[in-house]
């Protein structure tokens, strides 16, 4: 009987110790989680106090040492015995504060390097929280920190997770507020002439014992205003029942506007210039329609002479194109005229004008068509077997444009050298 009483007393003592550990803010783990250790490793924070007197060592070269050297250890730079890691309280934990841009205790970590990422900062924050009350009552976080929706969506559903502990009933408040978007309940957020983009709201989520997630439904409004992508946020605050906020306590929702599809569009040539051979016969030109395709639209296209002349080098273009509802590009053909005249590359211009119903013309309202001549290849001289065209009287042959250019360049150099020599002779006299 005495042995049974002794065993019960030991069991009672063990239970007291376990409960004391659970409800005090002491450590519950023998090592930091892998994702926390990865923050130290990836940001080169393993020997931050090398050569100095470290607070608890601070070699941080493995998860067990990191736990032993950080949790409940007094920081060397502290004035009021602040802890490197105060379980459950990142806002007073020197480790977390030193990862921020302006720490109030010594220099920023990692020393001499860039600040850690927001994701890494959240990892440290959540770990410190997790070894406090959140281990029993929960860590409240938004499942996603950024979401993109279409203006035509009826609503967006955002999930709030209760991580770590699920003991007892807890609550967390939320608010849907403006970050560059109008809302239905606060017309001061934008012009009263603008329809709303979403329905603002605020509320409290209640998690029952053991419950791990809740959804927030935000209703969206599809207006008819042509606008850029707009953003609103859903933010958690004010936990109760022992639960605490995690680092990911806000979701930014981007609303992609759909009014591009409700606009008639902007019209422009696909290219600013084209180059064709005289013998090609035709040239296809494409006109694009962007930033909307609503309604049937008419558009004039016309040609104007440059060094290339209508009728002699190409057939005149003067027509009206009709873009059907939803049609985003259209192609028309230009007819080229292949004459027998040897000439330089010539060009003419095509222009857009007179879009119906106030549609816009894009930056490429004009395009240039360059026509390369093909007659130089047949201008060899004396003909086959003749004595006129080639050196030594062997006939004209075929002279390519590249060879012709070389001959012209050589002749120019010869003429220039002769002129310089002549000038030199005159000066000497």
User: Is residue 382 over pLDDT 50?
Assistant: no
Residue-level pLDDT at 418:
40
- What confidence tier does 334 reach under pLDDT thresholds 50, 70, 90? very high
The confidence score (pLDDT) of residue 317 equals 94
Q: What is the pLDDT of residue 195?
A: 41
Cα-flanking dihedrals φ and ψ of residue 68, to 5°?
Answer: -65, -35
Domains of the chain, earliest start first: 19-132 (no CATH), 136-260 (2.60.40.2030), 266-377 (2.60.40.2030)
Residue 290 to residue 31: CA distance in whole angstroms: 58
Predicted local distance difference test score (pLDDT) of residue 38? 85
Of 90, 106, 89, the C-alpha closest to 98 is: 106
Is the pLDDT score of 298 beyond 80?
Answer: yes
Query: What would the pLDDT profile of 130-142 be if each residue is shown by its tens digit?
Result: 888 888 899 899 9
Above 90 in pLDDT, residue 295?
no
CA distance to 155, 156, 216, per residue, from 52 (Å): 56, 52, 50
Q: What is the pTM of this model?
A: 0.45
Phi, psi of 292 (to 5 degrees): 120, 155
Give the Cα-Cα-Cα angle 324, 328, 333 (nearest 5 degrees). 85
Residue entry with tokens 């329609």: 289
Binning pLDDT at 50, 70 and 90, where does residue 42 land?
confident
At CB < 8 A and 24+ separation, what contacts does 55-63 make? 55/84, 56/84, 62/31, 62/37, 63/31, 63/32, 63/33, 63/34, 63/36, 63/37
Tens digit of pLDDT for each residue in 50-105?
544 445 456 777 788 778 778 888 887 777 888 888 888 888 888 888 888 777 67
In sequence order, what DSSP letters do the residues of 208-243 get, joined into one string? Answer: PTT--EEEEEEEB---------EEEEEEEEEEETT-
Q: Which residue has the higher pLDDT, 181 or 363?
A: 363
Strand intervals (E) in 135-259: 139-142, 146-150, 155-163, 170-179, 201-207, 213-219, 230-240, 244-245, 250-256
What was the pLDDT predicted at 200? 86
pLDDT interval class at 266 (50, 70, 90): confident
Mean pLDDT of the region 257-280? 80
Average pLDDT over residues 24-38: 66
* Mean pLDDT, all residues of the chain: 73
Per-residue model confidence as pLDDT tens digits over 397-415? 333 444 444 434 434 433 3
Residues 6 or more apart from 171 whose CB is under 8 A from it? 204, 205, 206, 207, 238, 239, 240, 241, 243
For residue 94, give the 3-state DSSP assignment. Answer: helix
Range of 27-36, 111-120, 249-258 with top mean pLDDT: 249-258
Question: Residue 255, class by beta-carbon neighbours within 10 Å (0-12 exposed, 13-18 middle, 19+ buried)?
Answer: buried
CA–CA gap between residue 344 and residue 91 (Å, rounded): 78
Q: Which residues have C-beta within 8 Å of that of residue 25, sequence separation ≥ 6? A: 86, 87, 88, 89, 131, 132, 133
- The strand pairing partners of 350, in sequence order, are 303, 367
Provide the pLDDT for residue 366.
92
Higher pLDDT, 141 or 266: 141
pLDDT in tens, 414-423: 333 343 443 3
Query: pLDDT-derived band of residue 357, with 50, 70 and 90 as boundaries?
Result: low
Q: Are the C-beta atoms of residues 120 and 43 closer than 8 Å to each other?
A: yes
More confident residue, 16 or 174: 174
Comparing 17 with 220, the larger pLDDT belongs to: 220
Q: What is the mean pLDDT of residues 170-175?
A: 96
Asked if residue 213 has pLDDT above 80, the reply is: yes
Between CA 226 and CA 27 the distance in angstroms is 55
Which run of H or of E encompasses 28?
none
Smallest Cα–Cα separation from 290: which of 269, 304, 311? 269
Cis peptide before 419 (omega within 30 of 0): no
């Amino acid at each position: 009987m005495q042995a049974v009483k002794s065993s019960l007393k030991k069991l009672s003592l063990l239970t007291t110790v376990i409960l004391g550990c659970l409800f005090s803010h002491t450590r519950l783990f023998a090592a930091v989680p892998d994702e926390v250790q990865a923050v130290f490793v990836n940001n080169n924070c393993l020997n931050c106090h090398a050569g100095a007197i470290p607070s608890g060592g601070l070699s941080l070269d493995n998860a067990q040492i990191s736990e032993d050297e950080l949790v409940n250890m007094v920081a060397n730079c502290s004035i009021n015995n602040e802890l490197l890691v105060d379980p459950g309280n990142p806002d007073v934990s020197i480790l977390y504060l030193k990862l921020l841009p302006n720490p109030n205790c010594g220099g920023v970590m990692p020393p001499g390097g860039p600040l850690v990422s927001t994701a890494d900062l959240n990892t440290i924050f959540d770990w410190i929280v997790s070894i406090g009350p959140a281990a029993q009552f929960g860590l409240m976080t938004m499942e996603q920190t950024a979401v993109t929706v279409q203006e035509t969506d009826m609503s967006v559903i955002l999930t709030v997770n209760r991580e770590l502990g699920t003991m007892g009933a807890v609550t967390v408040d939320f608010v849907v507020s403006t970050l560059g978007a109008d809302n239905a309940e606060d017309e001061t957020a934008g012009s009263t002439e603008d329809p709303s983009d979403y329905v603002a709201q605020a509320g409290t989520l209640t998690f029952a014992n053991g419950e791990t997630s809740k959804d927030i439904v935000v209703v969206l409004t599809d207006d008819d205003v042509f606008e850029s992508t707009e953003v609103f946020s859903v933010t958690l605050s004010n936990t109760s029942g022992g639960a605490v906020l995690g680092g990911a306590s806000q979701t930014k929702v981007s609303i992609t506007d759909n009014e591009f599809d409700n606009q008639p569009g902007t019209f422009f040539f696909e290219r600013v210039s084209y180059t064709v051979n005289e013998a090609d016969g035709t040239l296809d030109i494409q006109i694009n329609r962007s930033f909307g395709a609503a309604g049937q639209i008419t558009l004039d296209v016309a040609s104007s002479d440059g060094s290339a002349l209508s009728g002699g080098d190409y057939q005149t273009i003067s027509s009206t194109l009709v873009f059907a509802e939803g049609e985003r590009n259209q192609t028309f053909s230009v007819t080229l005229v292949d004459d027998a005249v040897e000439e330089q590359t010539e060009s003419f211009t095509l222009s857009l004008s007179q879009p119906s119903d106030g549609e816009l013309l894009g930056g490429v309202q004009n395009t240039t068509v360059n026509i390369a001549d093909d007659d130089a290849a047949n201008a060899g001289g004396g003909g086959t077997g003749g004595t006129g065209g080639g050196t030594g009287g062997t006939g004209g042959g075929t002279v390519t444009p590249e060879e012709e250019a070389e001959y012209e360049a050589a002749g120019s150099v010869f003429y220039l050298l002769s002129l310089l020599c002549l000038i030199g002779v005159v000066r000497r006299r």
